[in-house]
Chains A and B, each alone.
Chain A
């Protein structure tokens, strides 16, 4: 069941503070977080989070398209073994 609109998106408060501080510093840094349940907010766009998947911190580069999703959606907890042979990676 969807979350009621009047409540607004859920996010752990300390992430907001940390994101603001990271944006102000302008450094190349990864914010390691355990809060997979938090919603990605517009304030996080452009930052890189390391989202814990129970095993390691997977880098999540937040883009506009990801706003409204949860951090956990981008850090799978199961082993993935199937990339295509001719798949290309674009350097961000």
Chain B
């Protein structure tokens, strides 16, 4: 969920890089565990600056102690995340799941979830297979069962449209009534 950055000041405060969708929400998930198994409670003390307290409630007291924590990754248990709504899935749950073609064989595993503002898409691939990118729609993924670890996909038809990109394009002003 985040990583501890450089110390801030001499009183044991540290910068924390939050990977939560809303960075401040890092405190909402309760106790954080670092990659060495130590539990930490985080309290924001400024913009990206936090105070860390260990399991006994002792705050990191000095800059030297804070320096020793640099680059520690902070995790939460999966169960701490709220249940998503219907038809919503955490990226972390989707990545790695095997994808089966409906009525066919295995297509591979979910490698990456893309979201660039034009709908979510899943990149599927596996050993020796070329990656396949499908839009994350009901039509393409009719069955998603996170508990059973199974995704079923229906491959859409692909139509290639090639034109001469060096040619002058058409102006569609007649079609849409001009730009606004």
Q: A residues within 8 Å of B by Cβ? A: 3, 5-16, 18, 22, 27-35, 37-39, 41-43, 48, 50, 56-63, 66, 68, 73-76, 80, 82-92
Q: Does the CB pair A89–B171 fall under 8 Å? A: no
A-B contact pairs, 15 of them (CB 8 A): A8-B176, A8-B178, A13-B170, A15-B163, A16-B170, A27-B157, A30-B156, A50-B133, A61-B118, A75-B118, A83-B113, A88-B89, A89-B120, A90-B85, A90-B88
Chain A residues with Cβ below 8 Å from B37 are: none
Chain B residues with Cβ below 8 Å from A42 are: 176
Least Cβ–Cβ distance between A90 and chain B, in angstroms: 5
Known: A57-B133, A92-B136. 9 other contacts (CB 8 A): A8-B172, A15-B163, A22-B159, A28-B140, A59-B119, A68-B179, A86-B90, A86-B92, A90-B136
A41 and B175 contact, Cβ closer than 8 Å, known pairs A85-B1, A86-B1 = yes
Main secondary structure of the interface of A (DSSP, over half): mixed
CA of A86 to CA of B75, assembled, Å: 11
Q: Does the CB pair B162–A34 fall under 8 Å? A: yes
How many residues on the B side are at the interface (Cβ–Cβ under 8 A)?
A: 56
CA of A28 to CA of B84, assembled, Å: 27
